[in-house]
Amino acid sequence: MPCIWYKGGLCTSPVLDKPTADVTLPSRCLSQGYTTCRFFKDVSTSPTTSDVRGSREYGRPILMIHGLNKPMKSDCKYFRLLNHESGSYLAACEVLKRYLNMYEVSLCVDYWNDCPFRKLQDKIP
């Protein structure tokens, strides 16, 4: 099983600022030893996010619009933070059933209690 961050000869680890071939070593990246790499980050151990690699539940994300550089937290119970295989984070709304753009994420973080979508969903039995 190859490293999840090895894509097209590039290391796309979230530890790096941008994808690069400078740190790749195919003999390590494509073998079981990839977990010993200092750029390897296991996303499956994060309790606050889930992995979006195998899931297209909310459609296809456009990273220029939906991608977040850092994890965001909202107290809304319908807010989901997801890891993208590129190392970016994505925020999704379970009520709207779609990814949130960067502007919507800031609203969801700051004004979640006033969200009309959350209020409508809470009224549905």
Residue 89: what pLDDT?
92
**Alpha-carbon span 83 to 88, nearest angstrom:** 6
Regarding whether 92 and 75 lie in a shared domain, the answer is yes
* Mean pLDDT of the region 35-58: 63
pLDDT tens, position by position, 48-101: 455 554 455 788 888 899 999 999 999 999 999 998 888 889 999 999 999 999
Residue 112 falls within a domain, yes or no? yes
Containing structural domain, residue 12: 6-36
Q: What is the pTM of this model?
A: 0.57
- Tell the residue number behind the tokens 């999840």, with chain if given: 4
Residue 45: what pLDDT?
43
Regarding whether 28 and 89 lie in a shared domain, the answer is no
Of the candidates 90, 85, 89, 66, the residue with the CA atom closest to the CA atom of residue 11: 85
Report DSSP state, residue 66: H
Residue 79 falls within a domain, yes or no? yes
Above 70 in pLDDT, residue 121? Answer: yes
Residue 1 falls within a domain, yes or no? no
Regarding whether 77 and 19 lie in a shared domain, the answer is no
